[in-house]
Amino acid sequence: MDDNREQEETKMRNMLNSYTAHSHYRLNPDSKMVERVVKGLVMRKMKFGYAYCPCRLVTGDKERDKKIICPCVYHVEEIERDGECHCNLFIGDNYQTKDEKGE
């Protein structure tokens, strides 16, 4: 099980790196954050068959749930508005760390 999970995590990282290489977005520079989301995506892929965003609720309605397959349909708007997607995996040019925001 662990070997399979590690293989899936490697595949997931490769998919995410490929996506960011061909988009306007980058992965969060916080590697612990990225790792946590990758593990959540893999867990959901193994459980449900798809890499559903770990920050969103899987409803069981396939048509509705396909919107939350990573990268989800919401990430573009969230990054434009907040500098990062809801689960903090993808960031845009307007991303600020908590220190930069003064938090």
What is the extent of the structural domain holding 42?
2-101
CA atoms of 49 and 8, how far apart (whole Å): 12
CA atoms of 10 and 79, how far apart (whole Å): 25
**Any alpha helices (H) in 1-103, and if so which ranges?**
2-21, 31-48, 62-65, 75-82, 98-101
Predicted confidence at residue 98, as pLDDT, reads: 61
Mean pLDDT of the region 80-101: 85
Work out how many domains the chain is built from and give that number. 1
Both tokens assigned to 11: 């595949």
pLDDT surpassing 80 at residue 84? yes
89 — pLDDT class (breaks 50, 70, 90):
very high
Helix (H, G, I), strand (E, B) or coil at 27: strand
95 — pLDDT class (breaks 50, 70, 90):
confident
102 — pLDDT class (breaks 50, 70, 90):
low
Q: What is the pTM of this model?
A: 0.88
CA atoms of 80 and 84, how far apart (whole Å): 8
Helix (H, G, I), strand (E, B) or coil at 45: helix
Mean pLDDT of the region 37-46: 97
CATH code where residue 25 lies: 3.90.460.10
